[in-house]
Amino acid sequence: MSIKTADFNNRLTDAYLELLKNLDPNSKLDLISKLTKSIKSDLKGKKNVFEKAFGAWDKSESAENITKKIRDSRSFN
């Protein structure tokens, strides 16, 4: 992240905080809850992208069964 981006993000965050400081406590708590859910969703999405990038296996079949199928399907000429 460049210094310009970090500075912009800090200013943007400060501007949002200025807007939100007049909210009542319950609204602030609701906002915190929604932001937390958003962050968890973002993190989960990143994890899924990471797993997909490396071909994570999402089948319930055991490694032994997969290996057996591969060996059984071999044909030697």
Q: What is the DSSP string of 39-61?
A: HHHHHHHHHHHHHHHTT-----S
Is pLDDT at 18 greater than 70 in this prediction?
Answer: yes
How far apart, in whole angstroms, are the C-alpha atoms of residue 48 and residue 32? 24
Residue-wise pLDDT for 44-70, tens only, equals: 777 666 666 666 566 788 888 889 988
In this structure, which amino acid lies at residue 5?
Answer: T
Answer for the pair 47, 54: CB distance below 8 angstroms, yes or no.
no
Average pLDDT of the segment spanning 6-29: 92
Instruction: Name every residue whose Cβ is closer than 8 Å to that of residue 1 and which is 6 or more positions away in sequence.
Output: 9
**What is the model's pTM?**
0.49
